[in-house]
Amino acid sequence: MADQSIPEARTHRTAPAETEGGPADEGISRRRLLGTAGATGLVLGTAGAALGYAAAPTQAAAPLTSLGTDHAMFHGKHQPGITDGLQARGHLVAFDLAAGAGRKEAAALLRRWSETARRLMAGEPSAHDDTDVARDAGPSSLTITFGFGHSFFGRTGLEKQRPTALDPLPEFSSDHLDKKRSNGDLWVQIGANDALVAFHALRAIQKDAGSAARVRWQMNGFNRSPGATAHPMTARNLMGQIDGTRNPKPSEADFDQRIFVPEKGEPAWMANGSYAVVRRIRMLLDDWEKLSVKAQEDVIGRRKSDGAALSGGTETTAMDLEKTDAKGNLVVPINAHARITRPDQNGGAAMLRRPFSFHDGIDQDGVPDAGLLFICWQADPLRGFVPVQRKLDRGDALSQFIRHESSGLFAVPGGAAEGEYVGQELLEG
């Protein structure tokens, strides 16, 4: 992972350690050391929803008492919240610019938001009218990430700077999208390992919007807390499946090429940035839980107990797509989710999946409104998310157990340098 400068903070910095991708950079927090190789998530984000699989971190789990001191860095080559490990609590929120607000107001807003993010991620209170919700806590691995939607550029007179990669996603047959909970001019991702720290950040961001922008939609998510298991392991989703085994890792030679826009890419203001596809994917858990464990494993193509492919080995053993049983049947079914989503079955298409689970209560029929807030990162969604989702649309066994209910695509520029704000080159260039 590329070196990034770390702002001074009142929080402790963890000593360097070995990560899956090699020695950690000086000053990177324990959460980041645990995280870069462990960002995971259900590719349940492609039409049949793609259950992604990512490698587990190799370090010993941090004790819970240390969570408050862990911190991420705001300034750097890339924005935080992309390669960082899964956090225990998350909030996603989209804003629309207010009537009459344009480029000037948007620039002032991103300047406010960036300063607030810098302060909160360093464990400091917000600059104005802090609510004191997180007064007793450290930064708790807080990350705040900002992105621009397709409509933002028309509202600010910046149409000529809109990337072609931000063209609206095509329709997929499994979509049941609520337009009121989709897209938006601006998008903010908040993650932390403490629920109050995450809420504090959400409230600060909302208050900073002032009269410049209004909330379009907002969603809340969660993951397992670091240290909750006996040893570090890949996360499980609400279906009980290990989820994230095959996620790209920063140690891979082509990781940056797949996930980030190159420094000399187009448009220039997106250098070192990435594109986020955001999907609210409801899991039909009552139907799923009626299946036997064997039937569930056939749908996914992996063992439920340890995430290993049905063809054998451990979680990280390469899947043998040609292996058959005594009757000559494929051990990994032809429509298994893990088979369909493999990069080598999709022309090398890859995306970094970094989701949150969600549970928004029980509906009037007694059915849980629960599932995955799918977030995937890639250098170009037309070569990452779209081809995989189209393939899932044509016959993923998982499709009958999930429903895509909202969708968004956002351009997330590179990180802000010291003294700058996110998106400054776009808004002031």
Q: Annotated catalytic sites, by residue?
A: 243
User: Which residues in 233-268 are b (16+ Cβ under 10 Å) and which e?
Assistant: bbbbbbbebbbbbbbbbbeeeebbebbbbeeebebe
* Helix, coil or strand: residue 410: strand
**Angstrom distance (rounded) from CA 130 to CA 137:** 14
CB distance 247 to 376 below 8 Å: no
Residue 111 tokens read as 């300047």
Half-sphere exposure of residue 338, counting CA atoms within 13 Å on the CB side?
33
Query: Is it true that the peptide bond before 267 is cis, omega within 30 degrees of 0?
Result: yes
**Angstrom distance (rounded) from CA 325 to CA 323:** 7
Tell me the chain's radius of gyration from C-alpha atoms: 21
Q: What secondary structure letter does DSSP report for 98?
A: P
Where does residue 374 rank: exposed (0-12), middle (13-18), buried (19+ CB within 10 A)?
Answer: buried
In order of 187, 288, 348, 353, 381, the CA distances from 384 in angstroms are 20, 28, 9, 11, 5
| Residues found in the chain | 429
CA pseudo-torsion sign 336, 339, 343, 347: negative
Tell me, what amino acid is at 143? T
